[in-house]
Amino acid sequence: MTPLRIGLLGIGTVGGGTYDVLTRNLEEITRRVGRPLVITRVADLDTDLAKSATGGSAEVTDDAFAVTRDPEIDIVIELIGGYGIARELVLDAIANGKHVVTANKALLAVHGNEIFTAANDRGVVVAFEAAVGGGIPIIKALREGLVANRIEWIAGIVNGTTNFILSEMRDRGVSFADALADAQAKGYAEADPTFDIEGVDAAHKLSLMAAMAFGVPVYFEDVYTEGITAIEGVDIRYAERLGYRLKLLAVTIRREAGIELRVHPCLVPEDVLIANVEGVMNAVLVQADAVGPTLYYGAGAGSQPTASAVIADLVDVARLISADPGERVPHLAFQADQLSDTPVLPMDDVQTSYYLRMRLADEPGVLADVTRIFADESISIDAALQQEPGKELAADFVVLTHMTTERAVRAAIAAIESLPTTHSDVVLLRMEKLS
């Protein structure tokens, strides 16, 4: 049995986990694959770390290009992250005829169209199960398990850091900053946690899932992205009183005129499964025409869960390495020459329901003015909640709307904010019933 020789670029949290899991389960994995998968070379700027992590069983270098160009290497695992040097290394590995396994969602979201084209031209695989949903095999499901279906929509919690922060804020009353520091200490957050808390990491993952669901290019630039930094505890509590949980949701929906592509904090009814996904766990709900809804749940970040997905990709590559490139599963689930140019809908055209919180004067006729504005915009109210006025004779008024468009809600908000009896900006959160 000739071993498959693997070069590992980056032996940090996920790289270390990959090395550990592969070493620990090598016998079992070999029984599955039919040949051993062996990490023979490791590149990391911290060569001492790499040496201690591998215990001398792999050759260590600080020159990653020495690995991507090594004729003895069959597969390169890229776990450096970012889209600077990682892009050069992945393109170099492809140019040198290596198959690539990567967890780098940022790289694929921003440069995926270029990288997949280069891989197709060279006849190699770029596998990226670990890029979305950590250890959850969601890429496998979208590309293979659901292949019979026309996918209608996807809604997912795909960032463990923000889900962890929102869970800690709700359950334990922990501050945003403390919860973020804890997520970083646990190795969930990106090197730059702005990507997590501003929703960018979730947008990276959403653009990849949408491409595989709808057969469109990777449209990262067109994802509407809003993070959790402006979330106030008061909205988490009002949402709970109304029977909802607040989650950072990544949503893509196929509409007649195009696709919706958005990441934002979102109320979800507390009795749907996804509302109960807590901590670093991720979940992706896929609605498809034949199978109906399917839900994929598991650890969305962390060393060994992500390593599980990296190694699953290694096994896939090992099984397909001698197959004709045309017979492999296409990178983005659809044949590369069959991608459609379905547009991404502007946010104004998005259809959903809304949570709106406003502070109104405690005077006769104030609610009548507000509800008149909703009626003028053809917005139907689903539920409302009014807090007793405090000493300042103004009260929080929270409205849940039925389905409407973002355009109508924005117009209503502008009109409400211009009333002399409105004492605050209107807080807008979107809401998905997921039914």
Q: Helices 105-122 and 85-95: crossing angle, nearest 10°?
A: 20
Nearer to ligand HSE, 29 or 189 (CB): 189
The C-alpha angle with vertex 220 and arms to 215 and 223, in degrees rounded to 5, equals 100
Helices marked H in 264-359 — which ranges? Answer: 303-320
Q: For the chain, how long is the longest CA-to-CA vector?
A: 83
Query: Is 160 a residue that touches ligand HSE (CB under 6 A)?
Result: yes
Instruction: Report the candidate in 299, 253, 307 with the shortest Cα–Cα distance to residue 278.
Output: 299
Instruction: Report the candidate in 349, 345, 338, 324 with the shortest Cα–Cα distance to residue 407.
Output: 349
Query: Is 134 a residue that touches ligand HSE (CB under 6 A)?
Result: yes
Query: Is 168 a residue that touches ligand HSE (CB under 6 A)?
Result: no
What's the CA gap between 123 and 384, in Å, rounded? 58
Q: Minimum distance from CB of 190 to ligand HSE (Å)?
A: 4
Nearer to ligand HSE, 74 or 190 (CB): 190
Stretch that binds ligand HSE, among 144-152, 153-161, 247-255, 358-366 (CB under 6 A): 153-161
Instruction: Report the candidate in 414, 413, 398 with the shortest Cα–Cα distance to residue 267.
Output: 398
Helix (H) or strand (E) holding 253: strand 244-255
Is 105 considered catalytic here?
no
Query: Is 313 a residue that touches ligand HSE (CB under 6 A)?
Result: no
Nearer to ligand HSE, 132 or 333 (CB): 132
Beta carbons within 10 angstroms of residue 161's beta carbon = 27
Say if CB 396 and CB 359 are below 8 A apart: yes
Write the single-letter amino acid at 115.
I
Q: b vs e for 392-406, b when ≥16 Cβ sit within 10 Å of the residue's Cβ?
A: eebbbbbbbbeebbb
Query: Is 227 a residue that touches ligand HSE (CB under 6 A)?
Result: no
Q: Which of 98, 105, 205, 247 is catalytic?
A: 205
Member of 153, 188, 296, 355 binding ligand HSE (CB under 6 A): 188
The C-alpha angle with vertex 336 and arms to 92 and 91, in degrees rounded to 5, equals 5
Stretch that binds ligand HSE, among 3-11, 135-143, 182-190, 311-319 (CB under 6 A): 182-190
Query: Is 196 a residue that touches ligand HSE (CB under 6 A)?
Result: yes
In the block, tokens 């599963």 appear at 329
Query: Is 300 a residue that touches ligand HSE (CB under 6 A)?
Result: yes
Nearer to ligand HSE, 190 or 260 (CB): 190
Q: Minimum distance from CB of 144 to ligand HSE (Å)?
A: 21
Member of 68, 104, 159, 422 binding ligand HSE (CB under 6 A): 159
Query: Is 286 a residue that touches ligand HSE (CB under 6 A)?
Result: no
Query: Is 334 a residue that touches ligand HSE (CB under 6 A)?
Result: no
Query: Is 108 a residue that touches ligand HSE (CB under 6 A)?
Result: no
Member of 37, 79, 180, 189 binding ligand HSE (CB under 6 A): 189
In the block, tokens 């780098």 appear at 104
Query: Is 316 a residue that touches ligand HSE (CB under 6 A)?
Result: no
Say if CB 151 and CB 214 are below 8 A apart: yes
The catalytic residues are 205
> Where does this chain bind ligand HSE (CB under 6 A)?
134, 159-161, 188-190, 196, 201, 300-301
